[in-house]
Amino acid sequence: MSKLETNTIEPISGSTTLTLGASGDTLTFPSGVLTSTNNNFSAFAHFMHNSGTATVADATGDGIQHSIQYVDIAKNITVSTANNNWTHAKTGYYNLFLRYRQDAGGDVWTVYGVLKGGNSGTCVGASTRVGSENNINEGFSIFYKVDSTTATYQVNGWNHTGSKTVDGTFSAGKPTWSGYTDVIGSTAANAGIAVDYIITRVGDL
């Protein structure tokens, strides 16, 4: 096996296409090899409504846009707590997982969607339709498509009647774990997470 040592490989003059290998070949990158574009291939975010009550679904046509109070981490995703939405630096397919403990609203049909372009925008992903009850822990996975790096995306919750609320406040106290307040983004005496959101990139379009 021959070995090529060089600092730069470029296509010939007049061409802008460089081909490595042929159909059926495998390019191997040894462990530890990094490229300057590696960050473009991964995208994830963790944000939350982290203080007090929040409405997570209501019966208006577009439902209700979810509140984002705190961003724990975001990579190739820019989250706006002022506008309760986010943008993506990389197109592709994504999964959003949201979870909460229902506080009030009763057992009504409910669905959550990721909307592109605001409250009256396009639904690009939706959860299953469920009927949940008070004092029950809920978790929803929403698979959605991102085809724009300039459009905003947000979570809206809809139910067929009334509204559903959650509350992130403990009845008294909170864990004394070192780092807990940093993770949830709140130093309130009884602070907890009301709604938790985790986004991960699944693959290319």
pLDDT tens figures, 141-174: 999 999 999 999 999 999 999 999 999 999 999 9
Helix (H/G/I), strand (E/B), else coil: 167: strand
Is position 113 within any domain? yes
Can you give the three-state secondary structure of 49-101, one letter per residue?
A: ECCCEEEEEECCCCCEECCCCEEEEEECEEEECCCCEEEECCCEEEEEEEEEE
**Total domains, the chain:** 1
Is position 144 within any domain? yes
| Structural domain boundaries, residue 179 | 45-203
Is position 16 within any domain? no
Which domain CATH number covers 107? 2.60.120.40
Q: What is the pTM of this model?
A: 0.83
For residue 168, give both structure tokens.
């992130």
Using an 8 Å Cβ cutoff, are 199 and 95 in contact?
yes
pLDDT tens digit string along 102-126?
A: 999 999 999 999 999 999 999 999 9
